[in-house]
Structure 1
């Protein structure tokens, strides 16, 4: 189950970033600093797009 939660969280962050959500907003929701959010999820968008067969 923790693996599924992690995958869902990464996907949610990727979608949020695609629609313009800032790292500060993402960090606020996760109760972490913007830099921590960017560091943790910064490469999610490209990896998620390729994993889904897109872009």
Structure 2
């Protein structure tokens, strides 16, 4: 279950970044600093976006 929660948070961070959210906004939502958010999720681009269903 913790792994699923982490995947969901990463997907939400990825979506927020794609929508233009700053690290400060993301950090505030998570209760951490912008620097901590960037350090923890800064490589979120390397995590594949949720795949769209085909067909």
* TM-score computed with the length of structure 1 as normaliser: 0.83
Determine which structure has the larger helix proportion and give its number.
1
Q: CA deviation at 1:46?
A: 2.9
* TM-score computed with the length of structure 2 as normaliser: 0.83
Moved beyond 6 Å, runs of 4+: none
Q: CA deviation at 1:48?
A: 2.3
Give the count of matched residue pairs: 51
CA RMSD between the two structures: 1.4
Q: Which runs of 5+ in 1 are unaligned?
A: none
Q: Which runs of 5+ in 2 are unaligned?
A: none
Deviations 1:10-40 (A, max 9, x none): 0000010001000000000101000000000
Identify the residue that residue 43 of structure 2 maps to in structure 1.
43
